[in-house]
Structure 1
Amino acid sequence: MNRSPDSSGLNGTPRIAIDAMGGDNGPAAMLGGVVRALRSDPSLRFLLIGDEAQVRPELERLSFPAGSVEVVHAPDAIGSAEKPSQALRRAKTTSMGMAIRAVKKGQADAALSAGNTGAMMAIAKLALRTMPGIDRPALAALLPTLGEHDVIMLDLGANTECDVQNLVQFAVMGAAYARTVNGLKKPRVKLLNIGTEELKGTDELKEAAALLREASYLPMQFDGFTEGDQLSRGKMDVVVTDGFSGNIALKTAEGTARFVTDLLRRAFTSSLRSKAGFALSRPALHMLKVHLDPNNHNGAVFLGLNGLVVKSHGGANAKGVCNAIGVAARMVRNDITRRIGEDLDNFRAHAFAEAAQ
C-alpha cells in the first residue's frame, strides 16, 4: 500500500483514504460519492477502507475506472455513539482509524469519514499531532450565504473553551482555508460576538481582536466583530469562535433551514389555491432547496493537524460525499498545511520582533 511517486497530491493526483463504513448510509453513499467524484475528476485515486465483504459487492455494482481505487480490509468500524476513549483503543483495526493512519504513513494525502465526530477528532489528534505553532486543531465548515461565496466558520465543536491564542490561530487557519477553497486573496475575517462594538464581548474576544487588527501583514482582512444574525448575509468570508458557541450557531442555522422548508411545504399544501401557487413558484422553491441542501455544502475540515482530515455529514448522500471529496482534493492540491504554517511563522516572527522592541 506504499505510495508511488506519481500519486502525490502536489503533482495533481490526490490520493484520498475513504472510511467506507462511516455515516448513516455506509458503503452505498461513500462509494457512490467516489464514483461521482471520479466522473468530474478522473485523476483522483482512492483507498476504500472497510469490511471487504460489504465493500466488494458495492464496488462490483458500480463502475470505476481501472486503477482508480484500492480496497483495504478493515475488520471493525466505529459506532455513531461510541465514546472517543473507546474508539482510540480500537483505532488500529477500524476503518476510520486505518484511513487516518494511511495519511500518517504517507499512503494517502487526505482521509475522509462520515463517522463519529468525537472519535474522529481523538484519533486524528493522536495519530497526526498538531502543527508547530498550533495549540489545538479546529473543525471548520462551509455555510451557505447570500453572497458570492459560502462563509467558513470555525471552531464548530472541537474545543468548547478557547483562549486568545486559540482564537488568533483559528483566524489564521480559517483565512488560509478560505484562500484555498474559495480562491480569495485576502479573506474578510470576523469574530463572532454578542455585538459589533469594540467594548462588547469577553476579554478573550477583545484581546484576540486587538492582536488581529495589528496583523495587517497577514493575507487576511480583519473586520472586527459580527453577530449571529449576519452569518448568512455574505458580508464576511471567515467567522471565528470557540467550539461551544460555534456548534450552537451551526445547529441553530441547520434547524432554521429545516424550519423554513417544512413551513413552506405545509403552506403550499394547505389548500387548492396554495397548491396552484406552488406550481407557479416551483422554480424559485427549487433554487431555495438547492441553496439550503446540506449536501451542497458538505465537507468539514480538521485544521491544524500534520495531515488532512475531512468530516462528511453522517447523513450525506452520494452527492454530499462527492462534494466533501472535492474539498479534500482542493486542500491537497493547494497544500493548505504549508500555507497555514507559513502564515503562522509570519505571525510569530512579527510578534517576536514587537516584543523585542
Structure 2
Amino acid sequence: MQAKAVADSRASAEATKAVEKARAEAARIAALQARADEKSAKARAEVDAKASQEAAKAAEKAALEAARAQERARIVSERASHAQAKVDARLAVEAAKAAKVKAEMDAHQAAVKAREDAELARVQAKIDAEAARKDTIAKVENLIQETKIKSEADKIVNEAVRNAEAEFQARAEANRPVYYGPELEPPGIGYLHQLMAMTDTLAAPSQIAEELAFVAMEHLECDAVAIMIPDGDAWATASGIGIGIGLKDIRYRLGEEHWFVREVLGREEVAILDDTKTMQNELSGVPLANWPFLVGLPMPRANSILVAARTGAPFEGDVMGVFYEGIEDYVNELAETLETRDVAREIHARRRRR
C-alpha cells in the first residue's frame, strides 16, 4: 500500500512535473510565438516604413521630376516666346523693308510720271508755241500784205496829191500876173509841201494799230486784241492779234449808233464785260465778241477803240489807268496818222470831183 502510495506519489509528482514541463513548454512556445509575432510585426513595420519611405522618396522624386518638367516647359515656353518675338521682329523688319521698297517704288513711279507729264507738257507747250508762232507768222504776213496794200493806196493818194499840186501850180502860173513875188504863191501850196514831207515819215494806221496791239498783249495779259479806227461814218478793225481765222474780224464795221461805240466812245469810259454770252445782241459785229471776257478802252485822242479779250479771268479796272499812261505816245501817233489819212482822202476826193 505504501509502495502504491509511493508510486502514486511519484506518478503524481511525475504528472505534476509533466504538467509544469508542459506548461513551461507552452510558455516557451508562447514566448517563441510572441517573439516570432514581434519579429514579424517589426519586420512588417520595417517593411511598411521602408515602403512608406520608398513611397515618400518616389513621391519626392515624382514631385522633383514634375518640377523639373515644369521648369523645362517654362524654359521651352520662354524660348518659344523669344523665338516668336524674334520671328515677329524679323517679320516687322521685313514688312518695314517691303513698305520702304514699295514707298520708294511709288515715289519713283510718281517721279517718272511727273517727268513724263512735264515732258508731255513741255512737248505740248512747244507744239502750242509752234502753232502760235505759225499763227503769228501768218497774221504778220497778212498784216504785211495789208500794209503793202495800204502803202500802195498811200502811194496812189500821194501821186494824186502831187498831180493836184502840179495842176494847181500850172493853173497858178497860167493865171499869174507879170510881176513876181512870194505873195503870189497860191494858198495851200506850202502846206501841201509840208504834208508831203510829213507823210513820208508816218506809218500806215494799220502799222501803228499793230504796235499798239502788241503793247496791249504785254501789259494787259490778254489773249487777243483788236484796234478799231474811224473810217468815214463807221469804225473798222485796222489790225489786231488773235482776231479770227482769215482776219474775218477785219470786215466788221460799226456805225456811230452801235451800242458798243456809244458805250465806249460816247461815254469815254472803259467798258468791262464779264458775261459776253448774255450780250450777243449788243455785241453783234464787235470783233472778239465770242470771247468770254471782253474790255473796250476808248482812245478819244484818236477817236478809236481798243478791244481786248481773255479766256481765264475778267479784266481789272485799276490796271487800265496804268495802261493808258503807257500807250499815250502810240495813241498820239495813231491820231496824227489818221489825220494825215483824212487830209489825203479829202485831197483825193476833190481831185476826183474836178
Alignment TM-score > 0.5, same fold: no
Higher relative contact order (CA 8 A, sep 6+): 1
TM-score, length-scaled by structure 1: 0.23
The structure carrying a bigger strand percent of its residues is: 1
TM-score, length-scaled by structure 2: 0.23
When Rg is computed on C-alpha atoms for both structures, the one with the higher figure is 2
